[in-house]
Structure 1
């Protein structure tokens, strides 16, 4: 129980004037982002890892929440960082990356880092969530997704194995909304995508790049990692890539 509590708790590390808002994925928890956050904090950056509503508790609790709740959580995270940082960068995994893109469309961020942000989900069945909603409340994650990520994941991660269908319907709506507004993004961006992603179709990063190419986004593919880039085989290199991007936003010599 104590381990679970630690995994799902939000976290904050004080550092320099550049704040990193770390946002976990759909049905996940802050445990997906903690290692990255600890690494960035050691390098001098301010880090704020949030927990999205309904996450880190039970699938039943998540079923009560929607895209609108998660966007409010993300906006609140930016506001918290703005109290001490004059620059805020959104760093999001999967749906967390989608939320970072959403914040950027609102002009709330100075930069974004997306890790396997979804524009197209790999499992075609997810597109029909609205049709099955009257008949099914929860669906299990495809076994292939769990097996594919297991060899490269660390044990300390809290994630739901059952997904509320209402939440999936809401996620699909969020994807459509963000995709329609991508061209309004004006801040620098680092877009990262795993080649072996069985959750998000890798074509997603190409769609994002095409819509925000006016900001000259950096696109980086990872060859050995699965969907959870922050806990995969290349997690240390991922952290260094984020650190490299963050250096564009500061003149401090201590970082």
Structure 2
């Protein structure tokens, strides 16, 4: 049996990767696990949570999968991509998928574009209809500064391990991502040690890459990469 672990991002929840999970379930018979990291979920409770707890929770889920599956793939979105990379270094994972993985974060150029769109919607009285405003205003209100510092510690801890990833890896990045800049994907591609790696850019996609208009193409690329025997 093939297992697949999907890890969401900082201040997120499984809905961030849900469209991809649905696609994989429709096209395979894999056993898919999508955990909710400590302090995350529909209602954030990040106070007092350390970055080690996020890693350890993902580790336990992976260990359980490895007990019942012949092969395990790991997919990580944003911060989850860093955690997935950590797991790829320390456990016998077959393949790795990194989506908008946050080796670097905050893309000032795109962020200005997104803020400009919010200002326009504010002037038109439509701010509450702006998708980015809806998604991120709640997160900003419910995220303690200490939790953001834990996120930064996680990135600083895992980033030096990237050059120890030696399994086939697919990296996907939206060019219109205001949270994770395209240079993050370039950094990952250049520093991951495996020769079996692929980098995909989606021109119109923002940070929530699994919800973008180009997602059908992305999902097919992911499943093809995971099923390709040449990458095994």
TM-score normalised to structure 2 length: 0.82
Partner of 2:139: 160
Helix, strand or coil for the counterpart of 2:64? helix
Given that 1:31 and 1:156 are in contact with CA atoms closer than 8 Å, whether structure 2 keeps it comes out as: no
Residue 95 of structure 1 pairs with residue 72 of structure 2: no
Partner of 1:201: 181
Given that 1:35 and 1:231 are in contact with CA atoms closer than 8 Å, whether structure 2 keeps it comes out as: yes
Residue 85 of structure 1 pairs with residue 69 of structure 2: yes
Q: Distance in 2 between matches of 1:65 and 1:78?
A: 20
The C-alpha deviation readout for 1:40-98, integer Å capped at 9, x for no partner, is 01111321111000001534x21221210110111112122223311111101101111
| Worse-superposed segment, 23-32 or 78-87 | 78-87
Helix, strand or coil for the counterpart of 1:62? coil
Shift of 1:152: 7.3
Compared CA separation, residues 200 and 55, structure 1 to 2 (3 A)? same
Given that 2:169 and 2:197 are in contact with CA atoms closer than 8 Å, whether structure 1 keeps it comes out as: yes
Q: Distance in 2 between matches of 1:249 and 1:170?
A: 38
Q: Distance in 1 between matches of 2:70 and 2:117?
A: 39
Helix, strand or coil for the counterpart of 1:197? coil
Q: Distance in 2 between matches of 1:85 and 1:68?
A: 25
Q: CA RMSD in A?
A: 2.7
Given that 1:22 and 1:49 are in contact with CA atoms closer than 8 Å, whether structure 2 keeps it comes out as: yes
The equivalences for 1:105-116 within 5 A come to: 105-116=89-100
Partner of 1:227: 207
Compared CA separation, residues 81 and 26, structure 1 to 2 (3 A)? same
Partner of 2:125: none
Compared CA separation, residues 145 and 194, structure 1 to 2 (3 A)? farther
- Greater share of residues in helix: 2
| Worse-superposed segment, 43-52 or 205-214 | 205-214
Residue 186 of structure 1 pairs with residue 166 of structure 2: yes
Compared CA separation, residues 69 and 35, structure 1 to 2 (3 A)? same
Gaps of 5+ in 2: 109-113, 122-128
Gaps of 5+ in 1: 1-16, 125-142, 251-255
Shift of 1:215: 2.9
Partner of 1:144: 115
TM-score normalised to structure 1 length: 0.75
Given that 2:164 and 2:193 are in contact with CA atoms closer than 8 Å, whether structure 1 keeps it comes out as: no
Partner of 2:124: none
Pairs aligned (count)? 212
